[in-house]
Amino acid sequence: MQIETIKAYHVVQPFVDGPYRMSKGREADAFDAVIVSITSDSGITGWGEMAPLGNFYSPAFAAGVRAGVVEIAPHLIGHDPRGLASVGRLMDTVFKGHPYIKSALDMACWDLAARAADVPLVTLLGGRESETAELYKVVTHGSVDAMAALAKRIVNDGFHRLQVKVGGNVHDDIERVTAVAASVPKGTVIFCDANAGWTPYQARQFADATRSIDYTFEQPCTTIDENMSVRRMLDKPMVLDESVTSLEEMLEIHRLGAADGLTLKISRLGGVTKTRQIRDVAVDLGFMITVEDTGGAEIDTAAMAHLSLSTPEERRLHAIAFHEWVTVRTASNMPPVTSSRMGIPDGPGLGIDVVPDLLGKPFFVIGR
């Protein structure tokens, strides 16, 4: 089997609920996605997707994805898409760094390989560990009253896990989180996510003032060492997200004992191949795991669901349904969401049925 044709599409995906806000004025109105199709000489097509969250969240930007895919794709023509490790090494050889650019191409190869084997992607990723994964919802940064009201509405909608955005003015965020915790039932799972917005000094201030609230602290500071300095005085679990960009960094986090859990972003790591590798090692090392991404619609959410449901349930934290964030559709047979849990679509590969007419005209085509 050989890769015969690669197409790339640019799809802007506006958010259903308006701007997504983090601390320090960081916000986005939409996911700016690149969707890739890879078709083999046997006529099987696999799909991949990558969308950064603005230009502020990760070292990735949408125009860079569009430019990079055009540079990498010609090198993949004629190669076996089922040789996933080989394809990954080839991409790293011809294009140094920039893992986010390679993510959609890698994802499309996994989808194609699973479709060629006529099995769901979850089977190739280690097997299905449960039928569904618990979802969380985000309480975006805003006024005290707005955040408390949003948290209450989310819980009333049947969700039990909240990620509360912090990382701004410490004293204001203490007030915000206190109000959110008071607005939801006892036992609601709360993650306080600063998105690396604080210095260790600020993170310690926040942690000390909120000792009476039950939450998990997520990525308070930028570097592993900074987060480790906060963890030494912390009496709560810590999860790192932005710090996990490679296998080497994950192993350093483990060596230092800097976190209890990890959030693995598919595009930040370079695709499904490296996400699966890091996840499997992290599970064996005892970490709690969330597998998600920086953004996307049905294609990317399906990949997240397959990776989540092939993660041992006792090591899985939660998941997120990005396709419910956006106003546009790109596929049918999307990942099913019932109440606060998400499954995977029936069918081979990712399981979804991408509708090319919904994507518009490709901005790049190579092959036959």
CA nearest 124: which of 266, 319, 310, 353? Answer: 310
Q: Rounded CA gap, 358 and 329, in Å?
A: 7
d(CA 203, CA 24): 15
Judge whether 45 and 107 are in contact, CB under 8 Å. no
CA 31 to chain CA centroid, nearest Å: 13
Q: Which among 7, 102, 137, 165 is annotated as catalytic? A: 165
**DSSP string across 318-351:** -B--GGGTBS---EESPPPEETTEE---SSSBT-
* Nearest Cα residue to 182 out of 219, 136, 215, 207: 215
Q: Are 129 and 162 in contact (CB under 8 A)?
A: no
- DSSP letters, 85-139, are HHHHHHHHHHS-S-HHHHHHHHHHHHHHHHHHHTSBHHHHTT----S-EEB-EEE
Strand ordering across the sheet containing 261-265:
137-139, 161-165, 189-193, 216-218, 238-240, 261-265, 288-292
E strands along the chain, which residues?
A: 3-14, 20-21, 27-28, 30-40, 45-50, 133-134, 137-139, 161-165, 189-193, 216-218, 238-240, 261-265, 288-292, 331-332, 337-338, 341-342, 353-354, 364-367
Q: Where is 160: in which H helix or E strand?
A: none
Q: How many CB atoms lie within 10 A of CB 171?
A: 12
Residue 265 among the catalytic residues: yes
User: Which of the following is catalytic: 186, 265, 274, 361?
Assistant: 265
State yes or no: is 361 an active-site residue. Answer: no
User: Active-site residue numbers?
Assistant: 165, 265
